[in-house]
Structure 1
Amino acid sequence: MSHGGHGPYGPQPPQPPPYPPYVPYPPPHMPLWRRFREDEWPTLREVLRSASQIHGCLWLFALCCFGPTVVGLLICYPLARSARTHARRIFPPGAHLRVHFPDVVRIQKARAWVALAATFALLVAYATPDDWDQAMRQFALRMAITPWLLLLSAPLVITVIIRLAAPTARAGMRARLRPSLRSALWYCGAFAATPALFAGGLYVNYELYEGPLAPFVAIVLVLPALWVGLFVAFASPTVVRSAFHTAPVHAALPALLTGVLVWEFAAISLAVGGLPPGPTFLALLAAVGGPATVSALAWWEIHRLRTWHGVRLRA
């Protein structure tokens, strides 16, 4: 006899599923130092919680000897974290790459470190104090003109690539230029706003306000300029590598622009500061070897794009 259609033995209890429900594993704990490199920076509270494990005597020594520096870092850290978060949101690292070659990236990084070590060794061996000053000025000049040089060079290279492409592909390539234009406007606007905000804050503080709180007012007015400057600093590596996000237009454009820029920098360095210090052979090798190796790596990347993925300059 059935009971309500539940079988001869009354209502049956619900049967357990054949397998336990899927419970995803929690994400592995990432060390703090790796978060500074790869992930979103930890909050100030997390940093202080980690720093609390340091012995109190070391904290006392740091505060006594470097008190203003430690306090300044604690104040500026949230500002730098916010600027980095927004820079990575607007210019995502790696999002510009249509095709990623890990071995090419590793060799590019190794080449950069070798070039830096060779330049430093050359300066240590042969440079005078004036040569060190000249090297620092050239570094500052390169940092200042990189965005504008890229902004001037990119349209020329893009125009050549579009002219080389098939007529049926040109309309699509032009349509994919819009993200590049937005990226360029964001970056160049922030780059130009940094000195403007800094100068405006100083002008308001020293020309329009001379009260007893002038130092604190100056700090408050300079904070926006500092935030924008940090935003530019964190966005610059991605902007330079991606050439204003031009890979969607043509996968070979970042490599081509890198090869063009490095020779432009070499010409500007020779025009401004002349050959590096040292014997003529080493000076010529340092002046030409850097751009030549960067161009060789860029051409190797273009060759990989052509042979592995069929990307051609005239495609």
Structure 2
Amino acid sequence: MTSGGQGPYPPPWPPNGGPHPYLPPRAPLWRRLRDGEWPPTRELLRQLGPRRGCLAAPLLCCAWPLFFLVLTYPLARSARIRAHAVFPPDGHQRLQDPQVLRVQQIRAWIALAASLLILSVYGTSEDWNEMQEQFVFRLVLTPWLLLLTAPLVLVLLFRLASAHRRTAMRAGLRTAVRAVLCYFGAFTAVPLLVLAATYLGRDMNAGVLTPLVMPALMLPALWMLFFVAFSSATVVRTAFSTTRVHAALPALLAGLLVWELAGINLAVSGPPPGPPLIQLAALVAGPLSVSAVAWWEIDRLRTRHGVGLRG
């Protein structure tokens, strides 16, 4: 017995409700959100409480931001969980190559830095606004280009593959078709839900409750919009889980899509700002670098994993 009368062992938990001494400290909120660990709404509000004065001040100055956060964050979190359950971000990667992933990330950061540098030196305010519009345009257009391009590449791979390999590819093709139907079903459901909510809200004689009825009717459309947004990143990166059909298919699609997007951007928005030599480099360097990395990935699949285009 010790002098405090607590026995020879210390208490399992520290006094005053402190954290357990043997548990690692939790990461900051911004890092958890960045890494995809979205906490529940109650924990989020507790993290943004009075102890986080710099974060809570904008919310406490007006009730609408807090109301919007409480209303939309649970929808976004639920849609994100469901989107990752239907389209697993890492479920498609049967053959992971850390060096390829590292090179892809470095190439993406260099391309972003080069675009920002060109805009900073030669761009105008209209060019900056156009860059934001192009980002949204690509995000919406890329899944549809995938839907049109993937069947052509699949036909080519089926013709190259042996008869034994075609049987295994057909089994993986069913998973890709289900992913396509699920994604574009959700994509189509967004405008239909908006139209249905608008039609119901217009016909309902809610009187003073109209400002509350319309947001409530829009909640399904908002949830579906979050689902499509969170699914799009995975769908574009995994090419509708087509790795199950052929391990080289996402790389082939990436090499083709980047040239299609470059041609569409040139036709819609025109060349980037700057002298002719800078414009030519900005137009060609991006697609060439993506195609080079994609071809290098296909070569590593053949040399390190024995996966060639013929099977």
Please confirm whether the aligned pair reaches a TM-score higher than 0.5, indicating the same fold.
yes
Q: Match for residue 41 of structure 2?
A: 44
| 8 Å Cα contact 1:40-1:85 kept in structure 2 | no
Aligned to 1:94, the other structure's residue is in SS state coil
**How far 1:304 sits from its partner (Å)?**
0.9
Q: For the residues of structure 1 that align with 2:38 and 2:167, how far apart are their CA atoms? A: 41
Q: For the residues of structure 1 that align with 2:152 and 2:23, how far apart are their CA atoms? A: 46
**How far 1:110 sits from its partner (Å)?**
2.1
Deviations 1:109-167 (A, max 9, x none): 22212212221222222223333343333323222211111111111111111111012
Match for residue 224 of structure 1 among 213, 220, 223: 220
What one-letter code is carried by the residue in structure 2 that aligns with 1:184?
V
Q: Match for residue 303 of structure 1?
A: 299
Q: Match for residue 141 of structure 2?
A: 145
| 8 Å Cα contact 2:60-2:66 kept in structure 1 | yes
What one-letter code is carried by the residue in structure 2 that aligns with 1:45?
R
Q: Match for residue 237 of structure 1?
A: 233
Aligned to 1:41, the other structure's residue is in SS state coil
**How far 1:30 sits from its partner (Å)?**
4.6
| 8 Å Cα contact 1:194-1:229 kept in structure 2 | yes
Query: Which runs of 5 or more residues in structure 2 are unaligned?
Result: 1-21
Q: Match for residue 168 of structure 2?
A: 172
Q: For the residues of structure 2 that align with 1:39 and 1:136, how far apart are their CA atoms? A: 24
Q: Match for residue 15 of structure 1?
A: none
Q: For the residues of structure 1 that align with 2:126 and 2:57, how far apart are their CA atoms? A: 40
Query: Which runs of 5 or more residues in structure 1 are unaligned?
Result: 1-25
Q: For the residues of structure 2 that align with 1:237 and 1:163, how far apart are their CA atoms? A: 30
Q: For the residues of structure 2 that align with 1:209 and 1:134, how far apart are their CA atoms? A: 42
2:124 counterpart of 1:128: yes
Q: For the residues of structure 2 that align with 1:274 and 1:117, how far apart are their CA atoms? A: 20
The equivalences for 1:24-103 within 5 A come to 30-31=26-27, 32-52=29-49, 54=51, 59-60=56-57, 62-64=59-61, 66-103=62-99
**How far 1:28 sits from its partner (Å)?**
5.4
Q: Match for residue 287 of structure 2?
A: 291
**How far 1:51 sits from its partner (Å)?**
2.6
Q: Match for residue 202 of structure 2?
A: 206
| 8 Å Cα contact 2:82-2:227 kept in structure 1 | yes
Q: Which runs of 4+ in 1 moved over 4 A?
A: 26-30, 55-58, 207-210
Q: For the residues of structure 2 that align with 1:240 and 1:277, how far apart are their CA atoms? A: 28
What one-letter code is carried by the residue in structure 1 that aligns with 2:85?
R
RMSD: 2.1
Bigger Rg, structure 1 or 2 = 1
Aligned to 1:97, the other structure's residue is in SS state coil
| 8 Å Cα contact 2:50-2:56 kept in structure 1 | no
Aligned to 1:213, the other structure's residue is in SS state helix
Q: Match for residue 245 of structure 2?
A: 249
| 8 Å Cα contact 1:259-1:295 kept in structure 2 | yes
TM-score by length of 1: 0.85
Deviations 1:200-227 (A, max 9, x none): 2223223554622222111011111111
The alignment-based identity, stated in percent, is 52
Q: For the residues of structure 1 that align with 2:175 and 2:185, how far apart are their CA atoms? A: 15
Q: Match for residue 190 of structure 2?
A: 194
| 8 Å Cα contact 2:118-2:274 kept in structure 1 | yes
The 3 A distance-change label for structure 1 pair 183 and 51 is same
What one-letter code is carried by the residue in structure 2 that aligns with 1:228?
M
Match for residue 155 of structure 1 among 144, 151, 157: 151
The 3 A distance-change label for structure 1 pair 57 and 242 is closer
Q: For the residues of structure 2 that align with 1:246 and 1:89, how far apart are their CA atoms? A: 17
Q: For the residues of structure 2 that align with 1:29 and 1:57, how far apart are their CA atoms? A: 22
